[in-house]
């Protein structure tokens, strides 16, 4: 099992938010892409951020994670998202990709894919 699966969601999420903030983006934008990708409400994301839920369980329990993650394509850390076979790892890496796109200055309405 991947080590990242065992990390606390709150710890990883705070790192994603910090990355976006360093690049002039907002925590609300990270929340918006996370909500879009997973189906969690912004309120639920904030609640889970303070809980002891693992990163893997955050995605496993997501109301609508599978539907939107297929719309996220491209590479993250030189790995094509489309080539990741493990659905859970693909969802995790998809969130990384979305936050990277925000950090690179891509407009929020372009980061959130329309199906």
What domains sit in the chain, N to C, each tagged with a CATH number? 3-104 (1.10.8.290)
Per-residue 3-state assignment (H helix, E strand, C coil) for the chain: CCHHHHCEHHHHHHHHHHHHHHCCCCHHHHHHHHHHHHCCCHHHHHHHHCCCCEHHHHHHCCCCHHHHHCCCCCEECCEEHHHCCCHHHHHHHHHHHHHHHHHCCCCHHHHCCCC
Name the pLDDT band for 4 (thresholds 50, 70, 90): confident
Name the pLDDT band for 103 (thresholds 50, 70, 90): very high
**Mean pLDDT along residues 30-59:** 96
**Mean pLDDT along residues 60-68:** 85
pLDDT number for residue 115: 62
């Amino acid at each position: 099992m991947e080590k990242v699966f065992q990390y606390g969601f709150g710890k990883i999420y705070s790192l994603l938010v910090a990355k976006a903030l360093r690049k002039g983006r907002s925590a609300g934008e990270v929340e918006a892409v996370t909500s879009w990708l997973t189906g969690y409400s912004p309120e639920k994301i904030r609640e889970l951020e303070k809980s002891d839920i693992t990163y893997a369980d955050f995605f496993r329990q997501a109301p609508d994670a599978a539907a939107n993650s297929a719309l996220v394509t491209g590479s993250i850390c030189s790995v094509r998202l489309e080539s990741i076979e493990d659905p859970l790892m693909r969802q995790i890496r998809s969130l990384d990709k979305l936050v990277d796109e925000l950090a690179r200055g891509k407009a929020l309405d372009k980061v959130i894919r329309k199906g």
